[in-house]
Amino acid sequence: MRSSVAIGRLFVLLVGLGVFVAAYTRPKAGPFVAPDGRSRVKLAVLVVFDQMRGDYPEKWQPLFGPGGFARLRAEGAWFTSCYYPYGTTTTGPGHASILTGTCPDRHGIVNNDWYEPGKGNAYCAGDGRYALVPAPTAVDPKTGRVEKPPIAGTPERLLSETVADVLKQTYGPRAKVFGLSLKDRSAILPTGRRPDGAFWFDGRFVTSTYYTDRLDHPVPEWVTAFNRSKTADRWFGQDWTRFRPDLGAEGYARYSGPDDAPGEGTGSKQGKTFPHPTTGGLKQVGKAYYDALANSPYGNDLLLEFAKTCVRTEGLGRDDVPALLVVSFSSNDLIGHTWGPDSQEVLDVTLRSDALVADLLGFLDAEVGRGNYALAVTADHGICPLPEASAAKGQAAKRVNKDALVAGAEAHLRAAFGPAGEPTGPGPKGKPRWVEEVSAPWVHLNRNQIAASGRVRGVVARSLADYLAAQPDVYRAYTRDELAGPLPAADELGRRVKRSFHPARGGDVYVVLRPFDLFGGRKPGEVLKEETGTTHGSPHDYDAFVPLMVYGPGVPGGPRAEPVTPQATAAIFARFLGIRPPAAANYPVPATLEWGGN
């Protein structure tokens, strides 16, 4: 039987979340002591497993080895009740929140991208003023021209400082900061305004001209050498097979589900079932292979090798000025989107993640020394089960057609306020409509139409919210006026949504679908290929529930049931590094961390 988050806890919304590789082997050393005499670490490492839901380490605990999650549980603090306290649980907000110590209403990263009236979509970690370096090499197969991405990475849309920024302010340029991931936003947002490097994968590891103005050596030599080594090509043609062949298909099915379940996808020509090829359907290395690599556990293996190279060559943890390293493993997320959280694939990548943590801890023991580093493991969000898997358990789950919902909303507004006569969307090409744009979870009204009609924007939004809330697939709908004011203390769902609302980056009506529903779905009578995969981004518990494990000197081991948020990591790291917390941080060190008197 497929496992999932217990149904009861999905609807129990927590109250009070708002307040409350080696060139040599280094000798082991004692704890680093800062000049003021208080224990500090030489290196703080944030490990993010993108989309690792909080129940995975618990329900698959019997399958883990002794050196990974089990070691963190025994020798560190494992918080078993860790939830994001805001509504839009996507990658950008998660990575922005962990080390700012606050929520999107303050740090401003309200989604991966958001709609700006009259301008179009804004990406959370990119801007057209910057370019990738090294320059992209992807070639358009039709024209033969090198494809140029429209934007490149920058943290400028992040409105709050991070632990990385405070570390730089406190210790100066000798305090090194690096962010590494397959995704740009995952490397960029936690590391603040001026890290020593933020690198992500685009067929090779790249950065942005935001971070460098050097034309001769736009990236460090070790990055160039790593790319030149073609390490990323190592897995071409190597099938992704089960990490624990001793369990077999039956054992995997017992802990997760069948290998071919309704709603599962096929990735980058990887198929539904094991073994999964990693060529991307190509006869030689190319973009489709790199997509398949990222959509397999081998993407995590690649990033681990890159992270080890960074620690070695940059000398992280080797002197008395502390450093910060952020490593965000994206393959878990891509796999989860494709095959769903109850799949054998997600079980497999989680088992491999456990082994990866063991590898990383052993590496840090040797390279930096026990007592000299601290490490936290968390995730940027959880994930919704496949609607097909939920429906098979008798839950009212479906794929909701967004176009049909928007068409109904437009028809309602025309009936309530008259025909639309003003074009919508950026530029003159938009058709006359009351609804200008839908950038889930927000609906944006056409401000020109409202002004021309003499209506009040808040009145139109209220009418639309009431209509949407009455639809069978909509759980709640909030207007921006509601979110800008006080909400009832009992409305914890609304309070989560409010923490995702930034007035300069929000629309007019925020829509929350029923638990277990996803946008997608066919229109009545429409025939399409099978819909597959799943996503996240809601305020429901399955999207907000993540692990938090903290390891470092002075932290006694064992699980803790204290309700916490991932944003507590900012305060925890600030204490490890001997610095003040970021200015906007409003989640303290957990009371049960028992910091050895510090």
CA gap 502, 582 in Å, rounded: 19
Mean pLDDT per 10-residue run, the chain (598 residues)?
Answer: 40 36 34 52 98 98 98 97 98 99 98 94 96 75 64 96 97 96 98 97 96 78 97 98 97 96 97 97 96 98 98 96 98 98 98 98 98 98 97 95 96 97 71 95 97 97 98 98 96 98 98 96 59 97 98 95 98 96 97 71
Q: What is the pLDDT of residue 16?
A: 37
Q: What is the pLDDT of residue 5?
A: 41
Q: Following DSSP, what letter does each residue of 559-580 receive, concatenated?
A: EE---B-TTHHHHHHHHHHTSP
Length of the chain: 598
Are β-strands 509-513 and 518-519 bridged in parallel, bridged antiparallel, or unpaired?
unpaired
The one-letter code for the residue type at 490 is: A
R_g of the chain, CA atoms, integer Å:
24
Question: Which of 579, 578, 541 shows the shortest CA–CA distance to 563?
Answer: 541
Asked if 88 contacts 116 with a C-beta cutoff of 8 angstroms, the reply is no
Q: What is the DSSP letter of 80?
A: E
Asked if 96 contacts 104 with a C-beta cutoff of 8 angstroms, the reply is yes
Question: Which of 193, 192, 189, 187 shows the shortest CA–CA distance to 205?
Answer: 187
CA gap 255, 336 in Å, rounded: 16
Question: Which of 595, 514, 502, 542 shows the shortest CA–CA distance to 114?
Answer: 502
3-state secondary structure of 83: strand
Q: Following DSSP, what letter does each residue of 9-50 receive, concatenated?
A: HHS-PPS-TTT---SSPPPP---EE-TTSSEE-SEEEEEEET
List % helix, strand, coil for the chain (3-state, nearest 5). Answer: 35, 15, 50
Q: Which residues, other chains included, contact 358 with Cβ-Cβ below 8 Å and sequence gap of 6+?
A: 65, 66, 67, 68, 71
For the chain, list the domains and their CATH numbers. Answer: 7-385+541-593 (3.40.720.10), 397-519 (3.30.1360.150)
Backbone φ and ψ for 545, nearest 5 degrees, come out as -85, 120
Helix boundaries (H) for 447-561: 447-453, 457-469, 480-484, 492-498, 541-544
Cis peptide leading into residue 341 (ω within 30°)? no
* Cβ neighbours, 10 Å, residue 187: 30
Q: Which residues, other chains included, contact 361 with Cβ-Cβ below 8 Å and sequence gap of 6+?
A: 67, 68, 71, 72, 375, 551
Q: What is the pLDDT of residue 23?
A: 31
Report the largest interatomic distance among the alpha carbons of the chain, rounded to a whole angstrom.
77
Asked if 435 contacts 442 with a C-beta cutoff of 8 angstroms, the reply is no
Q: What is the pLDDT of residue 151?
A: 87
* Cβ neighbours, 10 Å, residue 534: 28
The one-letter code for the residue type at 542 is: Y
Asked if 310 contacts 327 with a C-beta cutoff of 8 angstroms, the reply is no
Q: What is the pLDDT of residue 9?
A: 43
Q: What is the pLDDT of residue 28?
A: 37
